[in-house]
Amino acid sequence: MSGPGGPVPTPPLLDLPLAHLLQSGGDHRLIVDPATGVSPYRVAPQIRDSVPLGSCTASSPSVTAYRAAEKLLSRLQASSNLASESDRVTSSQRERIQKLFRMPQGSKVILTPSGTDVIYLVSLIALRRSERVHHVIVGASELGGGTVLAAQGKAISDSAPFGSTAVGTPLAGLAERCTAEPVYLRRDDGAQIDEQVVEESVSAAVERVPASSAVVLHLVAHSKTGLRAPSADLCERLSARLGDRLLVLVDGAQGRLAPRDIRRALKLGFPVLVTGSKFYSGPPFSSALLLPETLSSDIGPLPPSLSDWFSSDGFPTSWELTRSSLREQANPGLALRWEAALAEIERYHNVPSRHRAGVYHTFAGAVHEVFGPSEVLEIDVPMPPVHRLVTALGAFPSVFCLRIRGNDGFLRKADLSSLHKLLDTDQGSEHPYLAGRFHLGQPVALGPPETTTSAVLRVALGARLVSDLGSTPDAGGLWLRQMLWALRHKVEHIVKQELF
């Protein structure tokens, strides 16, 4: 950058506005388009006036979350040593996570930008047991978009938190030792595959892996559309047969897991991927890997290729080998996003459980009532099997899929993407039914990505709405029905007029 007098120095990172900092230390999915003011997730890095029904994808920060981040930024700016202060902040955040999720003694927390980044670390943990690792990714089409690439040891974006790269670039130290295969939960037409068939497919995939390779089995606790597989029973049986060769990763990225379920998974020796940015409604790119005591020791120096992805302050202070191998000491953007997310998580858990349950039931009832018989909308409700690691409120439906029928049949993903943007754009000056901004979950293709033509939009209940509505006399019933009716009218008007 230059000016009339020559080069203009780049301002120190912490001198930049909070909205800018909340976009830092992640990848391209965080960056706002100046023309629209939102990221690819259609969320902003500041408070935004929209109806928040997209927690299954991402959320713009609430007043509570933004104020928490502002307070932390002031603290970081006042510090004379950012690295040391950042270590104190992230150590405190890890302790808060351990307390909130009631993690067993000896467990550890690693803070990471995105949930997909976690996969790199899980591969390295598995590689302590073997020269190679093979990932069996259950529900691959309904997880983070880069999950398969990350499991193969490849770059998931054209930009990394601390550098630039290209999607699919092999990461030295990982790519030559990592392989992956998907196991899908839906057929080409989007229909759910029978639980027993999925279990048999998972078991066969694991058993095919050569004895010379470690195996990471991805247990999805809640997919993008509410599915979960494989069963904990199958994972335990496979663990008994394969012993230390098998590592079961619980993918709880949606955040729709009760603390007791996280605790139970860790006691089984299963690491858990969680986020503060899906159900819990914090800013996107606030993720964590929760490790059981059996996997809590320092994993050693990371490959140099991962210095673009991780900073030392994300790791426990006792992990000296890992921390000293990283180029960057601090990721202020990640600390600020986690501070905002923790404000939402703590607020949610302060709501009495009976009040939280009331909002869950009210939301589900309102969705079925409002999106009932319609020429345009059809609710696609998954019927996931009962799961021993998904109980309490985590097992209650909080994400509902909507198939949208146009003049030529159900809309495909590309048309749903256009509709998704229009729903999040206030065009009330053109027609009363086009008023308001409704932020929904991004469209999801159902089934194998290479062959499926089926796709859905999603409406989701997030922690912010539970916290806001939990104290109301009707558990938010009146407000929810008003918003959902307005959403239905807007969808039907856009589709019938073919405005997308």
- Where are the chain's structural domains? 76-345, 351-496
Degrees to nearest 5, angle at CA 111 with 107 and 117: 115
User: Residues near 137 by Cβ (< 8 Å), separated by ≥ 6?
Assistant: 143, 147, 148, 151, 180, 181, 182, 183, 218
CA Rg, the chain, in Å? 22
Task: Compute the distance between CA of residue 30 and CA of residue 28 in angstroms, rounded to an integer.
Answer: 5
Please give the C-alpha separations between residue 8 and each of 3, 5, 15, 24, 93, in angstroms, as whole numbers.
Answer: 6, 8, 15, 21, 36
Phi-psi region of 494 (alpha: psi -120 to 50; beta: other; left: phi over 0): alpha
| Cβ–Cβ under 8 Å, residues 453 and 412 | yes
User: Residues near 429 by Cβ (< 8 Å), separated by ≥ 6?
Assistant: none
Torsion angle, CA of 387/391/396/400, rounded to 10 degrees?
-50
359: nearest Cα among 392, 389, 393: 393
Sign of CA pseudo-dihedral 410, 415, 417, 423: negative
Task: Compute the distance between CA of residue 147 and CA of residue 373 in angstroms, rounded to an integer.
Answer: 36
Q: Which two tokens stand for residue 278?
A: 């899906």
| Cβ–Cβ under 8 Å, residues 310 and 27 | no
Tell me, what DSSP letter sits at residue 378?
A: E
Task: Compute the distance between CA of residue 334 and CA of residue 69 in angstroms, rounded to an integer.
Answer: 11
Q: Which fold has domain 76-345?
A: Aspartate Aminotransferase; domain 2 (3.40.640)
Going by their DSSP bridges, the two strands 132-138 and 287-291 should be labelled as unpaired
Per-position pLDDT tens, the chain of length 500 = 434 444 444 457 788 999 999 999 999 999 999 999 999 999 999 999 999 999 999 999 999 999 999 999 999 999 999 999 999 999 999 999 999 999 999 999 999 999 999 999 999 999 999 999 999 999 999 998 899 999 999 999 999 999 999 999 999 999 999 999 999 999 988 999 999 999 999 999 999 999 999 999 999 999 999 999 999 999 999 999 999 999 999 999 999 999 999 999 999 999 999 999 999 999 999 999 999 999 999 999 999 999 999 999 999 999 999 999 999 999 999 999 999 999 999 999 999 999 999 999 999 999 999 998 999 999 987 777 678 888 877 788 899 999 999 989 999 999 999 999 999 999 989 988 899 999 999 999 998 988 888 999 999 999 999 999 999 999 999 999 999 999 999 999 999 999 88
| Cβ–Cβ under 8 Å, residues 254 and 221 | yes
Task: Compute the distance between CA of residue 90 and CA of residue 489 in angstroms, rounded to an integer.
Answer: 45
Residue 473 identity (one-letter amino acid)? P
Q: Which two tokens stand for residue 142?
A: 């309904």
Q: Which two tokens stand for residue 54?
A: 């997209």
Tell me, what DSSP letter sits at residue 434?
A: G
Helix (H) or strand (E) holding 345: helix 332-349
Residue 445 identity (one-letter amino acid)? A
Please give the pLDDT value at position 181. 97
Q: Considering the domain 351-496 in this protein, what is its CATH number? A: 3.90.1150
Torsion angle, CA of 246/250/251/255, rounded to 10 degrees?
-170
User: Residues near 231 by Cβ (< 8 Å), separated by ≥ 6?
Assistant: 195, 199, 385, 387, 388
φ/ψ of 76, rounded to 5, equals -65, -40
Task: Compute the distance between CA of residue 492 and CA of residue 153 in angstroms, rounded to an integer.
Answer: 43
Please give the pLDDT value at position 6. 45
Q: Which residue has the tokens 């997310």?
A: 341
Instruction: For residue 89, count other CB atoms closer than 10 A to its CB.
Output: 22
Please give the pLDDT value at position 11. 52
Please give the pLDDT value at position 33. 94
Going by their DSSP bridges, the two strands 178-183 and 132-138 should be labelled as parallel
Taking the model in full, what pTM does it have? 0.95
Residue 300 identity (one-letter amino acid)? G
Task: Compute the distance between CA of residue 276 and CA of residue 114 in angstroms, rounded to an integer.
Answer: 10
Task: Compute the distance between CA of residue 299 and CA of residue 323 in angstroms, rounded to an integer.
Answer: 10
